[in-house]
């Protein structure tokens, strides 16, 4: 199971970073979403991977799965969900204002400066 | 348990939804409420500052859960000082935004402002690393809204870059926290401090990775090389009052490095050693250089100020990177100074921009109404940010240079700081002479006559006292920092001393708490 989790984490992260470097708003949003998936699984795994164990110690249980990372992941999911929504809206606003979805900004200062000189 | 400790978080958190939902159609009511809120925040922060001034560490346990399990807020000298700074800055910026009408050029300005103050105060108070992440997200999501306040192409595009940069930063933050939790099993800062010191040097690789990842995350917030690229574009395109408030945002990153990398990953932790120092110092030096060259290269006023902020961040982080009490004292004094200096310049830029037809382009243009007043505001602000006598920037830089005298690369550090200051001075002198001295209109050949002010183009309404007052207030803060440099730097010394003696902090959080017997007694009652 460790192998499956580790390879999928690596795959998600690599795809996410590749998409972020595309410099277009939509691929960047997808890339950040993939990255946040990868991070959520990673944080989940920091409590060690266990199968079929109760989340808290009880009298009958010999071992337990750490409940704290699960709580942390829940917070992280909510936050990244909200952030993605904000990002989509800002990207949409920038697209409507600028007419294209490039993330990099054309340097207008230079041309304006030349006109003044 | 003193409940006032959580007031700087709760007060804005309660006002913000009220402003957003109940008062959404009445701008006067919004202004009154948010300014009243900021005044109350200043009062609470002053109270907390006095409470912590004797060196005691106050812990607030949320839900009264014992420390490593529940979330704690910790009030010590450092956090009280920064909350006071935030609230004073927030109040002045709010008055400026209300007086200049920035708050009605978009929606929900005051609500976002309250959430912003809540996030910043919370980040300074919290004693839990994951809670720090959550509060970072709160202050970031409010700052996303504020950066693109009132819209426009350039603002939305640079806002998009800012959001993407910070989302990537948040992702790294989570990876760092995950790594830290996996190796130490805790995220409470005091508990982390104890656990990191128990890790043998041979097994320290993962902790070192976590420490460096956290440093990158905080460097994104503090705008430190090589992750500083977002700052000039964002600050230059943000509404000026927002940029003035953001003067505290880079300091949140500096605070987090100061807190985490002294208490948890300090040089005394065998697992970490001088790792933080080795990376922070070159990054800070390069940041100063980028700031200096940026100031020289800027063709507009707002980017000019933004690059000057970058340079001052570099100086601040340079002092932090020494990780000695004296250097931290210098860093804290310089932090107070650079916050007010940067905010003063951004507010000034807003005053000037409304009066110039060519916007913030650095080129000769007809003189503005009240050219003399604006020129003297710029003059004082520029002296402040460049670090020239007689203002506190000079004292701050002097302290920083003195604190770094015993460092390994003194000659390099001194050269970079002094050359960076020189570049900043030259850049500001050039900008000032273009903006004010060459301000004769083409029709007027000779030196400017006072009468020519009457011929100034349309934006000829004079600046009211309420518009100039916030900028003046920022500059008066600089003057106060200079006049009371002695008492202030003595308090900084005590603050830095407390920071580098984390025993009291750790004891207050972990040891001096109602023990578990009390808890079980409570349980039985129910």
Rg (CA), chain B: 23
Residue B507: C-alpha distances to residues B60, B193, B501, B511, B522 (Å): 14, 11, 11, 5, 24
Across the interface, which of B130, B159, B300 has its CB nearest the CB of A109?
A: B300
Query: How far does the CA of residue A66 sit from the closest CA of chain B (Å)?
Result: 10
Which residue in chain B has the smallest CA separation from A98?
B153
pLDDT at residue B102, rounded to an integer: 87
By the 10 Å C-beta count (0-12 exposed, 13-18 middle, 19+ buried), B406 is classed as: exposed
Compute the count of residue pairs across chains A and B with CB atoms less than 8 Å apart. Answer: 99
Q: Which residues in B243-256 are b (16+ Cβ under 10 Å) and which e?
A: bbbbbbbbbbbbbb
Helices (H), B266-358: 275-297, 301-321, 325-355
Contact B123, B498 (CB under 8 A): no
**C-alpha angle A104/A106/A109, rounded to 5°?**
135
Write down the domain spans for chain A.
2-108
Give the residue from B137, B272, B282, B142 showing the smallest Cα distance to B217: B137
Interface with chain A: mutation pick from B140, B146, B165, B171, highest number of A CBs within 10 Å: B171
Query: How far does the CA of residue A105 sit from the closest CA of chain B (Å)?
Result: 7
Asked if B170 and A20 come within 8 Å (Cβ–Cβ), the reply is no
- In the three-class reduction of DSSP (H, G, I as helix; E, B as strand; rest coil), residue B304 is classed as helix
Q: B-chain residues within 8 Å CB-CB of A108?
A: 154
pLDDT at residue B440, rounded to an integer: 58
Q: Which residues in B106-117 are b (16+ Cβ under 10 Å) and which e?
A: bebbbbbbbbbb
pLDDT at residue B423, rounded to an integer: 93
Separation of alpha carbons B472 and B197, rounded Å? 48
Asked if A113 and B299 come within 8 Å (Cβ–Cβ), the reply is yes
Separation of alpha carbons B316 and B218, rounded Å? 14
| Sign (positive or negative) of CA dihedral B23, B24, B27, B33 | positive
Asked if B164 and A28 come within 8 Å (Cβ–Cβ), the reply is yes
Which residue in chain A has the smallest CA separation from B159?
A90
Asked if B182 and A46 come within 8 Å (Cβ–Cβ), the reply is yes
Asked if A86 and B141 come within 8 Å (Cβ–Cβ), the reply is yes
Across the interface, which of A45, A83, A93 has its CB nearest the CB of B167?
A: A83
Write down the ipTM of this complex.
0.89
Q: A-chain residues within 8 Å CB-CB of B149?
A: none
| Sign (positive or negative) of CA dihedral B299, B305, B309, B311 | positive
Q: A-chain residues within 8 Å CB-CB of B144?
A: 86, 90
Asked if B181 and A47 come within 8 Å (Cβ–Cβ), the reply is yes
- Per-residue DSSP letters for A29-87? HHHHHHHHHHHHHHHHHTT---SS--SS--TT-S----HHHHHHHHHHHHHHHHHHHHH
Q: What are phi and psi of B476, to 5 degrees?
A: -65, -35
Across the interface, which of A35, A46, A97 has its CB nearest the CB of B153?
A: A97
Work out the end-to-end distance of chain B between its first and last CA atoms, rounded to an integer number of angstroms. 22
| Sign (positive or negative) of CA dihedral B169, B495, B321, B391 | positive
pLDDT at residue B79, rounded to an integer: 94
Helices (H), B153-204: 153-184, 189-198
DSSP, res A99? S
Inter-helix orientation angle B392-403/B301-321, to 10°:
40
Contact B311, B287 (CB under 8 A): yes
pLDDT at residue B459, rounded to an integer: 54
Q: A-chain residues within 8 Å CB-CB of B137?
A: 79, 83
pLDDT at residue B494, rounded to an integer: 93
Per-residue pLDDT of chain B (526 residues; tens, 9 = 90+): 789 999 999 999 999 999 999 888 888 999 999 999 999 999 999 999 999 998 889 999 988 888 888 899 999 999 999 999 999 999 999 999 998 888 888 888 999 999 999 999 999 999 999 999 999 999 999 999 999 888 888 888 888 989 999 999 999 999 999 999 998 888 999 999 988 888 888 878 888 899 999 999 999 999 998 888 889 889 988 998 999 999 999 999 999 999 998 888 887 777 777 888 888 999 999 999 999 999 999 888 899 999 999 999 999 999 999 888 999 999 999 999 999 999 999 999 988 887 776 667 777 766 666 778 888 888 999 999 988 888 888 999 999 999 988 767 888 899 999 999 999 999 999 988 888 876 555 544 444 444 334 333 445 567 788 888 899 999 999 999 999 999 999 999 999 999 988 888 888 888 876 654 454 444 444 4
Asked if A105 and B181 come within 8 Å (Cβ–Cβ), the reply is no
Separation of alpha carbons B137 and B360, rounded Å? 32
Interface of A with B in 36-95 (CB under 8 A): 36, 39, 42-43, 45-47, 68-69, 72, 75-76, 79-80, 82-83, 86-87, 90-91, 93-94
Q: What are phi and psi of B131, to 5 degrees?
A: -65, -35
List beta partners, residue B58.
B75
Write down the domain spans for chain B.
148-507
Separation of alpha carbons B249 and B448, rounded Å? 41
Is the Cβ of A12 closer than 8 Å to some Cβ of chain B? Answer: no
Across the interface, which of A76, A86, A109 has its CB nearest the CB of B174?
A: A76
Asked if B174 and A32 come within 8 Å (Cβ–Cβ), the reply is no
| Sign (positive or negative) of CA dihedral B81, B82, B87, B92 | positive
pLDDT at residue A73, rounded to an integer: 92
Separation of alpha carbons B378 and B32, rounded Å? 29
Q: Which residues in B326-362 are b (16+ Cβ under 10 Å) and which e?
A: bbbbbbbbbbbbbbbbbbbbbbbbbbbbebbeeebbb
Asked if B151 and A93 come within 8 Å (Cβ–Cβ), the reply is yes
Neighbours of B447 (CB within 10 A): 8
Those residues of chain A that have pLDDT short of 70 are 106-117
Most distant pair of Cα atoms in chain B: their distance:
90
Give the residue from A8, A17, A71, A4 showing the smallest Cα distance to A44: A71
């Amino acid at each position: 199971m460790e192998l499956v989790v580790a390879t999928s984490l690596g795959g998600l992260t690599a795809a996410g970073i590749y998409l972020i470097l595309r410099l277009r708003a939509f691929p960047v949003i997808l890339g950040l979403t993939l990255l946040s998936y990868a991070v959520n699984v990673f944080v989940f795994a920091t409590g060690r991977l266990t199968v079929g164990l109760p989340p808290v110690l009880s009298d009958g249980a010999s071992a337990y799965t750490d409940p704290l990372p699960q709580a942390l992941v829940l917070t992280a999911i909510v936050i990244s969900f909200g952030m993605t929504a904000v990002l989509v809206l800002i990207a949409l606003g920038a697209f409507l204002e600028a007419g294209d979805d490039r993330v990099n900004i054309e340097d207008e200062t230079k041309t304006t400066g030349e006109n003044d000189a | 348990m003193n409940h006032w400790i959580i007031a700087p978080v709760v007060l804005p958190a309660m006002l913000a939804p009220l402003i957003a939902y109940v008062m959404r159609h009445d701008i006067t009511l919004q202004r009154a409420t948010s300014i009243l809120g900021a005044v109350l925040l200043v009062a609470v922060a002053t109270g907390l500052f006095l409470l912590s001034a004797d060196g005691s560490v106050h812990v607030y346990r949320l839900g009264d859960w014992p420390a490593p399990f529940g979330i704690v807020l910790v009030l010590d000298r450092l956090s009280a000082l920064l909350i006071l700074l935030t609230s004073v800055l927030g109040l002045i910026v709010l008055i400026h935004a209300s007086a200049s009408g920035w708050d009605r050029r978009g929606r929900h300005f005051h609500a976002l402002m309250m959430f912003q103050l809540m996030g910043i105060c919370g980040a300074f108070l919290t004693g839990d690393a994951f809670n720090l992440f959550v509060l970072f997200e709160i202050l970031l999501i409010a700052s996303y809204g504020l950066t693109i306040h009132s819209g426009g192409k350039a603002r939305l595009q640079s806002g998009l870059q800012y959001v993407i940069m910070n989302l990537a930063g948040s992702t790294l933050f989570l990876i760092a926290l995950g790594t830290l939790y996996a190796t130490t099993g805790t995220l409470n800062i005091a508990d982390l401090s104890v656990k990191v010191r128990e890790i043998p040097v041979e097994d320290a690789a993962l902790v070192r990775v976590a420490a460096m990842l956290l440093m990158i995350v905080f460097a994104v917030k503090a705008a430190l090389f090589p992750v500083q690229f977002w700052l000039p574009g964002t600050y230059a395109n943000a509404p000026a009052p927002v940029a003035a408030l953001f003067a505290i945002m880079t300091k949140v990153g500096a605070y987090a490095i100061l807190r985490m990398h002294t208490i948890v990953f300090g040089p005394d932790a065998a697992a970490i050693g001088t790792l933080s120092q080795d990376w922070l110092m070159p990054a800070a030096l390069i940041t100063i250089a980028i700031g200096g060259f940026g100031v020289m290269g800027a063709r507009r006023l707002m980017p000019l100020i933004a690059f000057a902020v970058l340079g001052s961040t570099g100086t601040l982080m340079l002092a932090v990177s020494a990780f000695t009490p004296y250097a931290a004292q210098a860093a804290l004094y310089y932090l107070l100074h650079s916050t007010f200096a940067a905010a003063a310049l951004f507010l000034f830029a807003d005053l000037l921009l409304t009066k110039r037809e060519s916007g913030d382009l650095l080129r000769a243009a007809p003189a503005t109404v009240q050219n003399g007043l604006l020129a003297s505001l710029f003059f004082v602000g520029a002296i402040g940010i460049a670090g020239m006598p007689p203002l506190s920037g000079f004292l701050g830089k002097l302290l920083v240079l003195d604190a770094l005298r015993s460092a390994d690369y003194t000659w390099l550090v001194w050269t970079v700081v002094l050359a960076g200051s020189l570049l900043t001075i030259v850049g500001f002198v050039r900008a000032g002479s273009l903006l004010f001295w060459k301000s004769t209109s083409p029709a007027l050949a000779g030196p400017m006559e006072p009468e020519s002010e009457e011929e100034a183009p349309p934006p000829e309404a004079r600046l009211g006292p309420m518009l100039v007052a916030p900028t003046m207030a920022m500059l008066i803060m600089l003057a106060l920092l200079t006049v009371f440099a002695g008492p202030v730097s003595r308090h900084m010394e005590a603050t830095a001393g407390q920071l580098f003696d984390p025993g009291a902090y750790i004891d207050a959080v972990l040891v001096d708490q109602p023990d578990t017997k009390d808890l079980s007694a409570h349980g039985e009652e129910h």
